[in-house]
Structure 1
């Protein structure tokens, strides 16, 4: 029997969409699907490094630019025409890819133009409701309705979270009505708990997200870390860039680690310092690590998740502007961290249902 050829295409905003596709790709392989990776830039590099033998193709990103300060949402608004054009362009490209690559199905992680009438298509997202800054709160329902219409163009909608009140995404996935074809597939993490590994680091710093904010946080943390004698590993989130940081002997840096290497590094570190992106939250829950969360300034989703988990006394969170490492380390032991619940193989069953339709 011919193997089903499935395109997996993560959005190129940060690295989280790509990293959470890793366990999904592994499950597809487990069920004998032939996966083709479709993305661009750093997300494509990460998945190519993780699956070096896997077929891949370039699907252009949305070309969104970011500010050094101010609201992410406000920065996006004038770029909406660019977003719309990118959606139309990738929709047109997919029509050709289906023919050229002989695709049997498509899984889009938050790329809203990758639906097609000839093959079953999945839209995967944890943001059914988009949180707008205060000045645009009035637009949230309109944005939700637009998002709902996009999701309804797909045969399946997958949410990487738990259904019900005990969930990780809060109002992002649980405030509004979902399309009928929605399945909560459980959190997606490339990590797992590893037993009997010796502790190597006091701190693991995981940098990620768009420039220039990635560099701004890197510089701020380096400045503070130089004066605190803690054994620290910094994962810079710059795959393909081997430029070395000049650091004191108690600080080591690497441009990128693959999933297994980062899994081990996380287990072998007492605490984690990272952004509060949703994929990072899922990885922290999978390893049970205590963490300090620093939301990307102006990204309302990350600001919400940081506040959400801080109020629940799960993860300490502080803004990039007010953050001090000394204060964070003084408080982190008062927070519980997260533990994943048993999933009952929801992901495996959902993938099987999808492949049966392909």
Structure 2
């Protein structure tokens, strides 16, 4: 084996999943650039448009539309996903056909696929990134898990993402090994950096999530803000063609912010009110912010994260129906999210793309 020292071109494919996958991919793309890898971004829908704005100078490819949200169905009941297996299989075949063309056109040396099951190749290193390698851990031997595991095994490696608070790695190891899958644990990296700046906003509201939950959260917080004293920045989490800014008395509304803009406004805000999604938690930890969380009631991962942070006295949370703006008055009882020395060894991970067989 010899190491290839030239710059490798890597296709990074991102499933369109309410911008969460796109958001998490930003840190990976930046790390690729820092390690002399040339990224080509492939995605669809809002995620593709979002990443185009984040990286206007990077070549992009539009992926075939799944027509379904695979991640959402992986969290649904087995019978609901069973009905979608033909559509998923067709989408995978379309991806495989398109990949052959892209590999030739762009001289692609490797693939990083974030929850796109069909983007792998036996000729070049292919990595699958996911947070739920076993969608149904309560029944690890189910037909659906076996089908999912069979597909993931076609990749060279699987990188299993965790937020740095996740304590379920040992349980995951036991489940995944049943499928004989080679995988690495990696932490979700922040896309932001701490800056020493003056505080300009008393509260930053960050909305996210599926509809109608996102709209219900927006309406609830807007009603509660009537009794809030202080300057507020309110980011609706709606990615649209043009960025919009509206000022209504003490509240400045944005439909969305780019990563650089969001980094600035988080650093300048005293408190952040949001969902405890993995990417934003990683960012708040990196920036050492105080936060109050409103997890989605039926989202097990968000509820777990919120409980861990509350038990460790880092941040408080409330369910949507119980939330009152007065609860923010007690945030001083919590120490805030603090930085850690946990990092991602990108050099080691990317070494997969540096090594080629002697010929």
TM-score (norm 1): 0.84
- SS, match of residue 202 in structure 2: strand
> 1:191 touches 1:283 (CA, 8 Å); kept in 2?
yes
Q: Distance in 2 between matches of 1:76 and 1:208?
A: 28
- SS, match of residue 301 in structure 1: helix
Which of 109, 119, 122 is the equivalent residue of 2:124?
A: 119
2:204 matched residue in structure 1: 204
Which of 73, 80, 85 is the equivalent residue of 2:76?
A: 73
1:290 matched residue in structure 2: 290
Sort the Cα spacing of 1:314 and 1:51 in 2 relative to 1 into closer, same or farther, 3 A. same
2:102 matched residue in structure 1: 97
- SS, match of residue 355 in structure 2: helix
Q: Distance in 2 between matches of 1:320 and 1:76?
A: 29
For structure 2, the 5+ residue unaligned runs are none
Alpha-carbon RMSD: 3.0
Cα deviation for residue 122 of structure 1 reads 0.8
Sort the Cα spacing of 1:343 and 1:310 in 2 relative to 1 into closer, same or farther, 3 A. closer
> 1:185 touches 1:350 (CA, 8 Å); kept in 2?
no
Cα deviation for residue 139 of structure 1 reads 3.6
Cα deviation for residue 93 of structure 1 reads 2.8
Question: Which stretch of structure 1 is more off in the superposition, 115-124 or 150-159?
Answer: 150-159
Q: Distance in 2 between matches of 1:223 and 1:209?
A: 19
Which of 9, 13, 20 is the equivalent residue of 1:5?
A: 9
Sort the Cα spacing of 1:337 and 1:111 in 2 relative to 1 into closer, same or farther, 3 A. farther
2:167 matched residue in structure 1: 170
Cα deviation for residue 354 of structure 1 reads 3.0
- SS, match of residue 217 in structure 2: helix
1:323 matched residue in structure 2: 323
Cα deviation for residue 125 of structure 1 reads 2.2
2:23 matched residue in structure 1: 19
Deviation sequence 1:208-233 (CA, Å, 0-9, x none): 22233222211221121133123111
Cα deviation for residue 270 of structure 1 reads 0.8
For structure 1, the 5+ residue unaligned runs are none
Q: Distance in 2 between matches of 1:122 and 1:139?
A: 25
Cα deviation for residue 73 of structure 1 reads 2.7
Deviation sequence 1:91-120 (CA, Å, 0-9, x none): 333233223332111101122222221211
- SS, match of residue 99 in structure 1: helix
> 2:11 touches 2:110 (CA, 8 Å); kept in 1?
yes
- SS, match of residue 208 in structure 1: coil
Count of paired positions:
342
- SS, match of residue 31 in structure 2: helix
Establish whether residue 183 from structure 1 lines up as the match of residue 187 from structure 2.
Answer: no
Q: Distance in 1 between matches of 2:51 and 2:65?
A: 15
Q: Distance in 2 between matches of 1:109 and 1:290?
A: 30
Cα deviation for residue 62 of structure 1 reads 3.4
Deviation sequence 1:74-96 (CA, Å, 0-9, x none): 59935633444434433333233
- SS, match of residue 36 in structure 1: strand
> 1:186 touches 1:346 (CA, 8 Å); kept in 2?
no
Establish whether residue 33 from structure 1 lines up as the match of residue 37 from structure 2.
Answer: yes
1:340 matched residue in structure 2: 339
Deviation sequence 1:241-292 (CA, Å, 0-9, x none): 5485866311001122221211111111111111122111211111111212
TM-score (norm 2): 0.83
> 1:8 touches 1:106 (CA, 8 Å); kept in 2?
yes
1:256 matched residue in structure 2: 256
Q: Distance in 2 between matches of 1:113 and 1:256?
A: 31
2:61 matched residue in structure 1: 57
2:348 matched residue in structure 1: 349
Sort the Cα spacing of 1:175 and 1:330 in 2 relative to 1 into closer, same or farther, 3 A. farther
Q: Distance in 2 between matches of 1:76 and 1:290?
A: 41
Cα deviation for residue 17 of structure 1 reads 1.2
Q: Distance in 2 between matches of 1:174 and 1:61?
A: 35
Sort the Cα spacing of 1:6 and 1:193 in 2 relative to 1 into closer, same or farther, 3 A. same
1:47 matched residue in structure 2: 51
1:109 matched residue in structure 2: 114
